[in-house]
Structure formats: structure tokens, C-alpha cells
Amino acid sequence: MDDDASKANPTADFNKIDLSQLQGFSFGTEWAKDKEAPSEFRDGPERPRRERDDRGGGPGGAPDRRDRRAFRRPAGEGPQGPSREAQGERPPRRDAGDYAPSRRNGPAMERQDRGPYDSPYFNAAFFPEDTSFNALVKTIRSSARTIELFEIARTVLAKPERFVVVVVRKPGPAGAPEAAPQPIYVSVPDGLPFESEDAAVSHVMSEFLGNFFDSGLVEVDPPKGNFLVINRCGVTGELLGPPNYHRYAQMVQQHYATRISRMPFEAFRSRIETVRDPEIVNQWLEKMKKVTRYTLKGPVAEGQVAPTFDSLEDARAYLLTNARDSVVKAVDNARFHGKALEKMPRGEILMAIEGAYDRQLRFPLDTANQLRGRLRREHFTIFKKGSKGVSYVCAVKRKFRVPGQVFGESIGSLIAFIEEHPLVKAGELASKMLGIAAPAEGASVTPEQKEKVMRMQGDLIWLVREGYVTEFIDGGLYAPPAMVEARKKEVEAEEHDPENFPEAPPPADAVGQAPEAPAPESAAPESAPQAAAPQEAPVAEAAPAPEAPPANEAAPVESTPAEPPAPAEPPAPAAAPASVVSPPTESPAA
């Protein structure tokens, strides 16, 4: 009975199964579990994968043995473990700016230097202008200094008034069929080159129309016809005319050539507006009552009247028919002054000139070669020095001493000091060689100090003008060491000396540097500033006249008649006795 009662009344938790143990159970395969993850967490290694709760084990703490992969902490739950990049599974990403400029990033494109423009159609070269070149030659010759040929080339290129431009067409590509060479069309009034004849004629008619015609406004009858619309320039706002007017095309071309020729013609045409307004039509008709009449200039035969034209196109046609040689000419190469570049319209020729000019400013080899021949014709000495073959220009031919050659006492000591201290500045000789510091403002000079500096300046001028000492553009001095007769002839015969000039020592290491404390001779003569004046670059300005040597500089004179004194003898030689500057005598080679 008891058993039957228990079956009739079962307990509350009878036959109850705990299914929590099956919470982490999965009926899918391992590869199916990976695909169940959302796609946004599979795109890259830097994004954390969303983990399911069953991979950490069930509520009872039993681990899930079917998923043995390492645990990956979701984002936002504490410090993250090493990513796949740190573990070496894939290299770190490189920013696009590290290896290539971005097309959408402006500053990245600016970092790429594509160099000057190289035109496929034209070549441009630069030659020194005659007037400026003559002034430059006088300046270099009067200074007797040695200047790098490239520095002279850069001086010529520094200002447009110092050079002329020569433009030629480039030959066709190799292997292409030979065609007739295309000429360059030059505007006769100003010599500017153009790619086409029409461009050259348009330039002349817009800039030099007054050279050929007298113009003035006259009253005429307005055009007749049914005009409903008027076209207007969207750039200037000027009324052009109705499209059905017979001279409409000429008026558009004339307006474009005289008012907005720098804009592309297609862009100009796209800016033309059409206005349908009777008032605008009447306004245009009133404007057409006054036209510009062009009267040909020049002598007229007796009984004849000068031709007149009421349109610019008619005047242009007459000019090209009867006086074409005064308007445009075809040439193989165009040569014009550098100043004309300011008025040259934008085009392929101007772009080619600008590209060639930028290349020459960077490395003026072509311009230097153009200067080399002209300087040789002016009897300048051009030589190459050093392993790189740097070209130097000087008006004085270099001379080299031989062992045993004797000079005067003051000249010998000066050349020995320069040889001992290569590239010492000429303005520093008074302080470094003579120990005479720069004078303070208002300080007096003693006669002894003045005599010493004047003697030293005169000796230096003689050595530089005779060629025994080289003075550079920055005032540096160099005296080549004495060499045997055979080596001397070899160096004088060869244009290129592979031996480099010595490097100038730093000022702190210079021997004979005047101390900070005042020296016994604390004042220098008044002529000291004149000795430092030649340190200014003589070719900085080509136009000014050459500077004459200072009047108080004494030039030593040799007793040998074959070697005359310096060209400019100042009045001070009387202050230097002959015993101070003894005549140098040359002894035979050792």
C-alpha cells in the first residue's frame, strides 16, 4: 500500500534533469565554429575576436575540452596579450607615405622633386649680353683676382639684362621618318619667338599695332538685321554681338586676342553668355554706331589716299599681304634679350626656357662653356685645378717659383707667410703678419704702422699682378710652393692641375692670431680699410665700372727692365725706400 501511495503522489523534483551541464555542448564541427564569428572581427588581426561564453567552461567550472585554442581577451577587459604582428606572423603595415606619395595628399606630392621641365620640342641656351659682359671683363681684369668659371656663369644668369636667350627646335626622335624641319616664327618688332605664325602675328597686332596704323573712332550706320539675342563675354562682361551677325566670328577673335589672350580659347568660348533682352540688343546697336578706323602709316604718293579699314581683321590682312617682313619672319633659331622674357606670353617655348634656366642655375655647365670661349678671346687665363677639375679664370698668367729664387726682403717674407698660411685673407695680413690690430673708432695711427701696412699692401699687389700669388674672390691668398724647372714647365703647359688647393685652417688655429689683449701697436693706418675692400666680390654686379686701386698703395719695382712695375703706380712709392724693397733677382734652377 505504501508503494502505491508514493507512486500516486510523486515529489516535486521527481524525474527532473539538470541540463546546465549541456550548455557548452556543440553539435557543429571545428571549422563551422570559425565561420559563426561575425565578419567584422575576422577582417584584421588588430580587431579582437568575440568569444562565446561556453569557451570559458560551464557554470560548474568544467573546461570545454573541444576548443583548445588559446584564450583571446575581448577588447575592454584589461590589458591585451601580444598581437599577431608582435608574434611575427605578419610584418607591420607601412604607411603609404613612407614609400610613395599619396594622390589625395597634397603635402606628400610636394615632397617629390621632379626637377625642371624638359621640353620635348625646344632647346634653350643662354649667352652673355655684350654690354654687360664687357663691364664684367673690366671688373675682373682690374681686380686681378681668380674666380671660378661657374661663379661667373651664375653672375651672368643672376639678372635677365645680363644674358641673351637662343631657342632652337629639337630634332625628331631617333628612328622616326625624316620630315621637313619646322621653323620658329619671330615677332619682328621685339624678336620674341612663337610656335606658329598666327601666334606671332596676333602678338604684333595686339602689342605693336600703333607702329603700322593710326586709329580713331568714327560714326557709322548701325548693323541692319533681325537680332533677338546678344552674346556677352563672361570674363569681361563686354557685349560681343548676335550670333547671326556676319562679323560675329571676327569680333570674337578680336576680343580674345586683345583682351584675354592668356586664357585658352576653348575656356573663353565656354564662358560666353547668351542674353535675350531688347534693351541689351539696343545697347549693342548703339555701341556699333562707333567703330575704330585704322589708317595706314607711312608716306603716300601724291594724289593718293592712305588706305583705311573699319575692322582689325581687314587691317591685319592688308598688313600681311603688303608688309609681312615687317611683322613676322621664320627662322631656324631665335635670339632675343633676356629682358624680353617678361613680355613673353605663356606657351611651350616659355616653359622650355624656364626649365633650361632652372637647370643652369643648379649646374651652369652649358653657360660656362659659352663663356669659356669669349673669355679666352679676351686673353684671360683659364685653368683647371683639383681632382674634380674646377675651372678658374684670371686676367693674370700664373707664375711659379723655382728653388733658390730670391726676392726682396719684404716680398720674400710676405710670400713665405702666405705659403705657410694658405688661403689667409688679404684683410687679415695686417693683424696676423704684422701684429697690427684693427684700429678703434677715433684712434690715431702712427707713421711707423702706416708705413708697414702700405709696404705690405704694395708688395701684395705686385705679387698678385705678377702671378706669384693667387687671390680668390673671397680675399683668400695662395702661393704655390717652389718647384723644379721641369715640373714648372709641365704645370704651365698643362691646363689641368690635379692637385687640390689646400683647405683654409679654422680661425682659432691660425698662426699669428692677434690676442684679445691690446697689442703694443694697437692702431692700424688709415689705409687698412682699403686693404680689406677688395674682399667684396668683383662680379657681384657686372654693370658698374671697375674700381681703381687705392691711391696710397705702393707697388715694389724690380730693377730688371724686362719686368716692369705694376700698371697703376700710386704716389706713395717715395715713402718706401729702395733699401726696404730690394729688387728680386732670379737665380737658375737648382
Of 343, 374, 405, the domain-final residue: 343
Share of residues in the chain with pLDDT > 70 (%): 64
Same domain, 406 and 536: yes
Q: Is the pLDDT assigned to residue 356 strictly greater than 50?
A: yes
Inside any domain, residue 507: yes
Inside any domain, residue 226: yes
Residue that wins the pLDDT comparison between 181 and 98: 181
Q: Is the pLDDT assigned to residue 177 strictly greater than 80?
A: no
Share of residues in the chain with pLDDT > 90 (%): 36
Inside any domain, residue 228: yes
- Digit-coded pLDDT (tens) for 122-157: 999 999 999 999 999 999 999 999 999 999 999 999
Same domain, 190 and 337: yes
Which residues form the domain of 529? 396-575
Per-residue model confidence (pLDDT) at position 360? 95
Per-residue model confidence (pLDDT) at position 176? 66
Please tell me the least confidently modeled range out of 236-250, 465-479, 535-549.
Answer: 535-549
Of 343, 359, 383, the domain-final residue: 343
Domain count for the chain: 2
Please tell me the least confidently modeled range out of 33-42, 49-58, 105-114, 581-590.
Answer: 581-590
Inside any domain, residue 496: yes
Q: Tell me the three state secondary structure of residue 393.
A: strand
Residue that wins the pLDDT comparison between 353 and 61: 353
Q: What is the DSSP letter of 573?
A: G
Give 466: exposed, middle or buried? Use CB within 10 Å, 0-12, 13-18, 19+. Answer: buried
Q: What angle do CA 357, 342, 252 make, to 5 degrees?
A: 120
Q: Which amino acid, one-letter code, is at 383?
A: F
Contacts of 490 (CB under 8 A, 6+ apart): none
Sign of CA dihedral 23, 25, 28, 33: positive
Mean pLDDT, to the nearest integer, of 570-575?
37
Same domain, 215 and 276: yes
Please tell me the least confidently modeled range out of 52-61, 257-266, 287-296.
Answer: 52-61
d(CA 366, CA 149): 11
Same domain, 289 and 413: no
- Digit-coded pLDDT (tens) for 82-128: 444 444 445 455 444 443 444 444 444 455 567 899 999 999 999 99
DSSP strand pairing (381-385 vs 496-497) = parallel
Same domain, 555 and 417: yes
Please tell me the least confidently modeled range out of 14-28, 107-121, 284-298, 431-445.
Answer: 14-28
Closest CA to 251 of 288, 196, 197, 213: 288
Per-residue model confidence (pLDDT) at position 447? 87
Q: Is the pLDDT assigned to residue 560 strictly greater than 70?
A: no
Inside any domain, residue 109: no
CB atoms closer than 10 angstroms to residue 563: 13
d(CA 371, CA 217): 53
Closest CA to 162 of 434, 370, 457: 370
* CB environment 475-493: b (16+ within 10 A), e (fewer): bbbbbbebbeeeebeebee
Mean pLDDT, to the nearest integer, of 214-223?
86
Same domain, 546 and 410: yes
Closest CA to 310 of 320, 295, 324, 321: 295
Per-residue model confidence (pLDDT) at position 505? 61
Same domain, 404 and 337: no
d(CA 124, CA 356): 6
Contacts of 533 (CB under 8 A, 6+ apart): 547, 550
CB distance 355 to 362 below 8 Å: no
Q: Where are the beta strands (DSSP E) in 129-229?
A: 147-148, 163-169, 184-187, 193-194, 213-219
The three grid cell numbers given for residue 225, joined into one nine-digit string: 538685321
Q: Which amino acid, one-letter code, is at 214?
A: D
**Structure confidence at residue 450 as a pLDDT band (50, 70, 90):** confident
Q: Is the pLDDT assigned to residue 60 strictly greater than 80?
A: no
Q: What angle do CA 125, 131, 136 make, to 5 degrees?
A: 85
Per-residue model confidence (pLDDT) at position 21? 63
CB distance 520 to 514 below 8 Å: no
Same domain, 334 and 411: no
Which residue's entry shows cell 669669349?
374
* CB environment 136-163: b (16+ within 10 A), e (fewer): bbbbbbbbbbbbbbbbbbbbbbeebebb
Residue that wins the pLDDT comparison between 493 and 526: 493
Q: What are phi and psi of 128, to 5 degrees?
A: -70, 140
Same domain, 319 and 456: no
Q: Read out DSSP for 182-207?
A: PPEEEETTT--EESSHHHHHHHHHHH
Residue that wins the pLDDT comparison between 23 and 468: 468
Q: What is the DSSP letter of 430?
A: H
Closest CA to 44 of 2, 69, 66, 75: 75
Please tell me the least confidently modeled range out of 292-306, 323-337, 555-569.
Answer: 555-569
Same domain, 339 and 401: no
Contacts of 355 (CB under 8 A, 6+ apart): 116, 117, 118, 119, 124
Inside any domain, residue 360: no
Q: What angle do CA 311, 315, 318 make, to 5 degrees?
A: 140
Mean pLDDT, to the nearest integer, of 473-492?
86
The CA R_g of the chain, rounded to the nearest whole Å, is 44
Pick left, alpha or beta for residue 39 (phi over 0 → left; psi -120 to 50 → alpha; otherwise beta). Answer: alpha
Q: Read out DSSP for 25-78?
A: ---S-HHHHHHTS-GGGSS-TTSPPPPPGGGG--TT----TT--SPP-PPTTSS
Inside any domain, residue 464: yes
Inside any domain, residue 80: no
Same domain, 421 and 569: yes
Mean pLDDT, to the nearest integer, of 219-243?
90
Is the pTM higher than 0.85? The answer reads: no
Mean pLDDT, to the nearest integer, of 432-449?
77
d(CA 570, CA 458): 9
Q: Is the pLDDT assigned to residue 537 strictly greater than 60?
A: no
Give 194: exposed, middle or buried? Use CB within 10 Å, 0-12, 13-18, 19+. Answer: buried
Same domain, 566 and 436: yes
Helical packing angle, 149-157 and 130-143, nearest 10°: 140
Of 280, 313, 343, the domain-final residue: 343
Please provide the average confidence, as pLDDT, over all residues in the chain: 74
